Amino acid sequence: MEFITTNFAPIMFVGLIMFLLLGFPVAFSLGACGLFFGFVGIELDVFPSSVMAWLPQRLIGIMANDTLLAVPFFTLMGLVLERSGMAEDLLETVGQVFGPMRGGLALAVVFVGALLAATTGVVAASVISMGLISLPIMLRYGYDRRLTSGVIAASGTLAQIIPPSLVLIIMADQLGRSVGDMYKGAFLPGFMLMGLYVAYVLVLAIFKPERVPALPPEARAFREADGSSGYTSLAVLTALSATVSIFLAHNMEAVHSWWLGTEVSAVATDEKVVVAMCGGVFLALVIALVNRATKLGLLSRLAERVTFVLIPPLLLIFLVLGTIFLGVATPTEGGAMGAMGALIMGWLRKRLDLKLLKQALASTTKLASFVMFILIGATVFSLVFQAADGPKWVEHLMADLPGGQVGFLILVNVMIFFLAFFLDYFELSFIVVPLLAPVAEKLGIDLIWFGVLLAVNMQTSFMHPPFGFALFFLRSVAPEKPYVDRVTKKVMDPVTTMQIYKGAIPFLIIQLTMVGILIAFPQLVTGSLDKKVEVNMESISDQMRDSLSTEDGKEDADPGYGADEEPDSAAPAPQAESAEDDPLKAMQEALKADKKK
């Protein structure tokens, strides 16, 4: 018994692993393990029975957590956009833009994956949408099956790290940090990861062009009456929009001063980026609307199509992320605005009926319930684990690793990488992150950086052969048997499971490379955060002492009327009464006494 009571926390952790290996659902494994070891710990006098009395308050705290409200809002926004046909329009349009170059369709999948990630935040929706739409097209025009599978699965997982990612919301809640700061920290790494995907496709286009052929001329849908492609018009519109954005960014102080009517000397960088891009995008939309209304023919069919397809989701991104970054809205309020904007977009496209809305609401309810049950189970487990001094055990286990911060980060990321074979990001966030966060903070690691680093690592859980969820999602929509292509009428070979697994490996290596880059360069995350205001309480105390002493000295130097009279030593009571009635006087006298000592 002494061995059990001495090693209660590690035994409890091993017990949880046994529960999970037996195949029980994670939420119920956490809850059952917590309750079982809670009653055992009380019987063995490891901790008092009052520990279990704290549980109702913890559960009520979960229900009252405003941050977690963002999860159903962003989920609903993503599902509504996915069901309103936005992904189909984006893939078709961006595919036409990049199609004439080698690897263009793969690049289109990466860019659309990033756009869907910034609007949906749901990996399953992104992978399934792009698998259904782009997979047949890429196979039709001779793309390598392994590359096709890998780029679709990897681009879908960008929803894991690019805001408004659901895992970043959960991570911020578990780390006790702001969701807005977590979004700011993840913004640059997310798009850097997208850039690495693009670089890989471009390398293949240069050295192995047969794996990524260009779109043939007969497949290019948006042609002008004279047979031209319309790229000139698109380039001019893009250049004009970019020029306006750059001009606004460089003159943002003057714009703010004009708008507010007062002099503004400095504007935050993130505010400059959001407002400037909104201005450039809005100008392009106005030009396209005027061109369509007046039929002036200023824009080509391709330029007009790109404008009307790309700008609505971009404006939605600015509405959601822009208001969060600028501090105008909380993440929960931003998610609510995004969900409402998605409903309006679906209604304007005339693709959202009552049936699709019910499906989106049902899926949102299922996911939100799934998250809530896991969080309740994790709370029960963590309550008992903390009562058994589990965090101290983890701290002693992790804090003395060789290599300091770097050694700790390497070990943690290796552990997360292997745990991701068996657990998804929700489970890792609720089980592992609360145990590691106190150790990271004690080692002086910025928790926003730590959270983004773990989020990038957890992204690999979707790409692990043979357990990756993104691979399962793609397998569910990829052809398993030979089929007849609806355009070319040719018999096409199926996509095998091994081709999907092999295609995922290069992108898995890219994701791990991004983890290494973030460990080596933490400023990629921390550089975009607001600078912390350091408050030195000792300095403030010294200033108060000096100020009070100066005031006291002035009173002593200028005693006023009757200063030459002798004080009445027999009547000190009025002075004591005055000090007691006047707190400032009492503080001055206390400081005098302290100085004399």
How many Cα atoms are found within 13 Å in the side-chain-facing hemisphere of 179? 29
Nearest alpha-carbon partner for 455 in 170, 109, 179: 170
Kindly write down the DSSP assignment for every residue of 211-242, as one continuous string: GSPPPPGGG-----TTS---HHHHHHHHHHHH
The pTM of this model reads 0.77
For 111-115, the CB contacts below 8 A with 24+ separation are 111/194, 112/87, 112/155, 113/152, 113/154, 113/155, 113/156, 113/158, 113/159, 113/194, 114/155, 114/158, 114/162, 114/190, 114/191, 114/194, 115/90, 115/310, 115/313, 115/314, 115/317
Whether cis (ω within 30° of 0) applies to the bond prior to 465 is: no
Closest by alpha carbon to 274, among 324, 334, 336? 324
* Terminal-residue alpha carbon distance, the chain: 56
Q: Identify which of 95, 202, 184, 200 has the alpha carbon closest to the alpha carbon of residue 138.
A: 95
Pair 116, 126: CB distance under 8 Å: yes
Widest Cα–Cα separation across the chain: 117
Q: What is the chain's pLDDT, residue by residue, as a tens digit (597 residues)?
A: 777 877 888 888 888 888 877 877 878 888 888 889 888 888 888 888 888 888 888 888 878 777 778 888 888 887 887 777 777 788 888 888 887 888 888 998 898 888 888 776 677 777 887 888 888 888 888 889 999 999 999 998 888 888 888 888 888 888 888 888 888 888 889 889 999 999 999 999 999 988 888 888 777 777 776 767 778 888 898 899 999 989 888 888 888 788 777 887 777 776 777 788 888 888 888 888 888 888 878 888 888 888 888 888 888 888 887 788 777 888 888 888 888 888 888 888 787 788 888 888 888 888 888 888 888 888 888 888 888 887 778 777 776 677 778 888 888 888 888 888 777 777 788 888 888 888 888 888 899 999 999 999 888 888 888 778 888 888 888 888 888 877 778 888 888 889 999 999 999 999 999 999 999 999 888 886 765 545 556 666 667 777 766 655 555 555 544 444 444 444 444 444 444 445 445 555 555 555 454
Distance between CA atoms of residues 476 and 168, nearest Å: 27
SS3 536: coil
